[in-house]
């Protein structure tokens, strides 16, 4: 049985070799043209970042080191394999896969869960910082501030000050990353307790439990196997979605200045807090609950169709549908729907069933409407309503759960960035005047 640190150490020489080969064989090859529309259009579609953990294909969706979500559901150690109650894959398994490219054994995951539990307690100064925030401060702002404060004890920052060699940067980066993943549940739970008054208030950790088993306990849902298992699945599959999305890209960009993992991930969380990124799931839920209020819990396909058209005719988008890259139903949506189909309590839930019915009707309406490039549901179409059904109804908190998850994808890349010695990011920007001059416009 290997530790995660040993497993990462084993794959790094091969990665370095692959990068060296790529540089020597292909450094001058082109990856396409840069048009003015790319510069003005949020750099969409430009292949300008290295990101090892996952690749997003417009048709097949996300793959993690080549594995689809159904592959991961089959292959990664899950709650059942580890006798934890429930049966979903563990975020620990996904973290291992993203860091190493390999599927861990049950024993390795168990050992990682124990390591995370051992490192999960917050330093008291961070508890005090969180307790000093007003309840009215958005949970994501609190989350980012507390994560940034953990940089006080960063192994990377300390080693850098001492003059560690560049080839060894990845080691304290990994140490900090594991430490941060371990502490995110306690930070998130303390914020939940302070703002919403739910949970044990002390973030107690049981070393025999997995990361999410402990988190569910800390936020007061320990006895709820359905929610605990849903959180495992949700957090595992939201971990990574390529490098270009705002949170992942931010972690990579800030990390490229050799800011330590706490600082880099704190910045990523502030990006995740934006309504065009991490807040979308709460909007879907608000929209669906609004529909339920208007048309009742047993809406017919005809009534749903009408509500969809009302939304579109009023100039709004249908939340939970469409995607910047995907052109098929999001496999993450499919995985969450499968979860709902597996759980009797969710089959009886009016909001879950309404959201399911919407997914049968909306693609036809959006196709007829004719604007969106992708009329299919994205992950956010389903995610919030399940939390709501299980009683976790505080919308303002939902992005914090996403924030626990995204670390599982963003931090492995930071480790890889340091292992590969990637440089500080510094793209070229241009003013409108400079562009016009360059293009020969008058
Ligand atoms: N409902 C109605 N119209 C939509 C639509 C939807 N769900 N999705 C796209 N459109 C419209 C766009 O507004 C755009 O109209 P415009 O030409 O008048 O500006 C047109 O269709 C073309 O857009 P697109 O190329 O299909 O999408 P995009 O890449 O510009 O935007 C996204 C992608 C997700 C922002 C968009 O589909 C959207 O607003 N969806 C609803 C909100 C949502 O679900 N967000 C969560 C996304 C998942 C995530 O990243 N968390």
pLDDT at 280: 80
pLDDT at 181: 98
Same domain as 234, residue 185: yes
In-domain check, residue 329: yes
Please give the number of the atom of ligand 1 that sits closest to the Cα of 378. Answer: 48
pLDDT at 344: 95
Same domain as 269, residue 120: yes
Last residue of a domain, one of 389, 406, 434: 389
Catalytic one among 241, 380, 388, 417? 380
Beta bridge partners of 377: 321
Q: How far apart are CA 79 and CA 96, in angstroms?
A: 15
In-domain check, residue 53: no
Same domain as 304, residue 259: no
Token output for 366 = 């959006």
Residue ranges of alpha helices (H) inside 150-275 are 155-162, 170-196, 211-218, 225-237, 246-255, 261-272
Is the pLDDT at 297 greater than 90, yes or no?
no
Q: How far apart are CA 24 and CA 17, in angstroms?
A: 11
- Report the CATH number at residue 215: 1.10.580.10
Q: Are 235 and 91 in contact (CB under 8 A)?
A: yes
Reply yes or no on whether 380 is catalytic.
Answer: yes
Please give the number of the atom of ligand 1 that sits closest to the Cα of 373. Answer: 26
Same domain as 260, residue 327: no
Question: How many C-beta neighbours within 10 Å does residue 189 have?
Answer: 27
pLDDT at 282: 80
* Whole-number percent of the chain with pLDDT over 90: 93
Mutating to test ligand 1, I would choose from 328, 364, 372, 376 the residue with most ligand atoms within 8 A of its C-beta, which is 372
Please give the number of the atom of ligand 1 that sits closest to the Cα of 324. Answer: 29
Q: Would you give the DSSP letter of residue 166? A: G
Q: Whose CA is nearest to atom 36 of ligand 1?
A: 322
Half-sphere exposure of 265 (CA within 13 A, CB side): 35
In-domain check, residue 341: yes
pLDDT at 278: 87
Token output for 177 = 């990353």
Q: Whose CA is nearest to atom 28 of ligand 1?
A: 324
The residues, any chain, with a CB within 8 Å of residue 14's CB and separated by 6 or more, are none
Q: Whose CA is nearest to atom 15 of ligand 1?
A: 371
Q: Are 223 and 242 in contact (CB under 8 A)?
A: no
C-alpha 93 – ligand 1 centre gap (Å): 32
Same domain as 119, residue 262: yes
Q: What is the mean predicted confidence (pLDDT) over 364-374?
A: 96
Q: Are 8 and 98 in contact (CB under 8 A)?
A: no
Q: How far apart are CA 354 and CA 346, in angstroms?
A: 11
62 φ, ψ to 5°? -80, 140
The region of weakest confidence among 175-189, 200-214, 240-254, 270-284 is 270-284
C-alpha 276 – ligand 1 centre gap (Å): 10
Q: Whose CA is nearest to atom 3 of ligand 1?
A: 317
Q: How far apart are CA 217 and CA 199, in angstroms?
A: 7
Last residue of a domain, one of 367, 389, 411: 389
Q: How far apart are CA 123 and CA 424, in angstroms?
A: 31
Same domain as 323, residue 403: no
In-domain check, residue 365: yes
Same domain as 379, residue 342: yes
Same domain as 262, residue 182: yes
In-domain check, residue 107: no
Our count of domains for the chain comes to 2
Residue-wise pLDDT tens digits, 299-352: 999 999 999 999 999 999 999 999 888 999 999 999 999 999 999 999 999 999
User: What ipTM does the predicted assembly reach?
Assistant: 0.97
Q: How far apart are CA 74 and CA 97, in angstroms?
A: 13
Q: How far apart are CA 410 and CA 115, in angstroms?
A: 20
Q: Whose CA is nearest to atom 47 of ligand 1?
A: 323
In-domain check, residue 232: yes
Please give the number of the atom of ligand 1 that sits closest to the Cα of 245. Answer: 50
Q: What is the mean predicted confidence (pLDDT) over 36-65?
A: 95
Q: Whose CA is nearest to atom 25 of ligand 1?
A: 373
Pocket of ligand 1 (CB under 6 A): 280, 312, 317-324, 371-374, 378, 380
pLDDT at 324: 83
Is the pLDDT at 19 greater than 90, yes or no?
yes
pLDDT at 69: 97
Residue by residue, DSSP assigns 374-418 as --SB-THHHHHHHHHHTT---GGGHHHHHHHHHHHHHHHHHHHHH
Q: How far apart are CA 80 and CA 241, in angstroms?
A: 26
Same domain as 284, residue 271: no
Token output for 411 = 């931090």
Token output for 214 = 């402990």
C-alpha 323 – ligand 1 centre gap (Å): 6
Q: Whose CA is nearest to atom 37 of ligand 1?
A: 322
Q: What is the mean predicted confidence (pLDDT) over 41-70?
A: 95
Q: What is the mean predicted confidence (pLDDT) over 212-237?
A: 97
C-alpha 278 – ligand 1 centre gap (Å): 15
Q: What SS3 class is residue 303?
A: helix
Q: Whose CA is nearest to atom 21 of ligand 1?
A: 372
Same domain as 263, residue 242: yes
Q: What SS3 class is residue 78?
A: strand
Mutating to test ligand 1, I would choose from 40, 61, 239, 317 the residue with most ligand atoms within 8 A of its C-beta, which is 317
In-domain check, residue 5: no
Residue-wise pLDDT tens digits, 87-119: 999 999 999 999 999 999 999 999 999 999 999
Q: What is the mean predicted confidence (pLDDT) over 398-424?
A: 98
Question: How many C-beta neighbours within 10 Å does residue 65 have?
Answer: 18
Closest CA to 126 of 179, 189, 187, 176: 187
Closest CA to 400 of 249, 238, 250: 238
pTM: 0.95
- What does each C-alpha distance from 366 to 35, 161, 289, 304 come to in angstroms? 30, 55, 20, 13
The region of weakest confidence among 57-61, 84-88, 167-171 is 57-61
Same domain as 269, residue 284: no
Residue-wise pLDDT tens digits, 81-91: 999 999 999 99
- What does each C-alpha distance from 19 to 12, 23, 172 come to in angstroms? 11, 6, 22
Please give the number of the atom of ligand 1 that sits closest to the Cα of 278. Answer: 51
Task: Tell me which H or E stretch contains 338.
Answer: helix 331-342
C-alpha 286 – ligand 1 centre gap (Å): 17
Closest CA to 352 of 207, 227, 242, 174: 227
Plot region of 65 (φ>0 → left; ψ -120 to 50 → alpha; else → beta):
left
pLDDT at 201: 95
Q: How far apart are CA 201 and CA 189, in angstroms?
A: 8
C-alpha 248 – ligand 1 centre gap (Å): 20
Q: Are 63 and 188 in contact (CB under 8 A)?
A: no
C-alpha 297 – ligand 1 centre gap (Å): 27
Is the pLDDT at 249 greater than 90, yes or no?
yes
In-domain check, residue 249: yes
- What does each C-alpha distance from 362 to 170, 309, 393 come to in angstroms? 46, 9, 25
Q: How far apart are CA 90 and CA 43, in angstroms?
A: 34
What is the average pLDDT score of the chain? 96
- Report the CATH number at residue 316: 1.10.230.10
Catalytic one among 323, 330, 388, 417? 323
Same domain as 414, residue 366: no
Range of 165's domain? 112-276+397-419
Catalytic one among 57, 138, 153, 277? 277
Position 298 confidence tier, pLDDT thresholds 50, 70, 90: confident
Please give the number of the atom of ligand 1 that sits closest to the Cα of 330. Answer: 48
């Amino acid at each position: 049985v290997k530790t995660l640190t040993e497993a990462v150490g084993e794959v790094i020489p091969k990665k370095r070799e692959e990068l060296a080969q790529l540089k020597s064989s292909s450094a001058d090859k082109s990856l396409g043209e840069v048009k003015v529309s790319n510069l003005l259009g949020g750099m969409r579609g430009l292949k300008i970042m290295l990101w090892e953990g996952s690749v997003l294909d417009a048709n097949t969706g996300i793959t993690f080191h080549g594995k689809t979500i159904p592959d991961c559901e089959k292959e990664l150690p899950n709650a059942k394999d580890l006798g934890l109650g429930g049966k979903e894959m563990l975020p620990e398994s996904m973290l291992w896969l993203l860091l190493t490219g390999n599927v861990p054994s049950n024993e390795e995951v168990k050992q990682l869960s124990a390591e995370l539990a051992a490192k999960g307690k917050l330093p008291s100064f961070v508890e005090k910082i969180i307790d000093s925030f007003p309840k009215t401060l958005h949970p994501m702002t609190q989350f980012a501030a507390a994560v940034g404060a953990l940089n006080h004890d960063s192994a990377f920052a300390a080693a850098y000050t001492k003059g560690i060699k560049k080839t060894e940067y990845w080691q304290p980066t990994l140490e900090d990353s594991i430490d941060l993943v371990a502490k995110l549940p306690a930070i998130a739970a303390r914020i939940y307790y302070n703002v919403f008054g739910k949970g044990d208030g002390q973030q107690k950790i049981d070393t025999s439990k997995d990361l999410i088993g402990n988190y569910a306990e800390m936020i007061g849902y320990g006895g709820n196997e359905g929610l605990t298992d849903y959180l495992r699945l949700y957090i595992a599959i939201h971990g990574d979605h390529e490098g270009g999305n705002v949170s992942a890209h931010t972690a990579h960009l800030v990390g490229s200045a050799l800011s330590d993992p706490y600082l880099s991930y704190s910045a990523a969380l502030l990006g995740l807090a934006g309504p065009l990124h991490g807040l979308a799931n709460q909007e879907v839920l608000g929209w669906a609950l609004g529909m339920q209020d208007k048309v009742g819990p047993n809406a017919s396909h005809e009534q749903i169709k009408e509500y969809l058209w009302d939304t579109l005719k009023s100039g709004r988008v249908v939340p939970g549908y469409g995607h910047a890259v995907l052109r098929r139903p999001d496999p993450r949506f499919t995985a969450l729907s499968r979860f709902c189909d597996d759980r009797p309590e969710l089959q009886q839930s009016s909001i879950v069933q309404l959201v399911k019915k919407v997914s049968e009707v909306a693609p036809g309406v959006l196709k007829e409407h004719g604007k969106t490039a992708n009329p299919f549901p994205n992950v956010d179409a389903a995610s919030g309503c399940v939390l709501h059904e299980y009683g976790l109804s505080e919308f303002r908190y939902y992005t914090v759960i996403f924030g626990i998850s995204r670390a599982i994808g963003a931090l492995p890349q930071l480790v890889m960035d340091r292992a590969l010695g990637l440089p500080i990011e510094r793209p070229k920007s241009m003013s409108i005047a400079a562009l016009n001059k360059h293009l020969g416009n008058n």
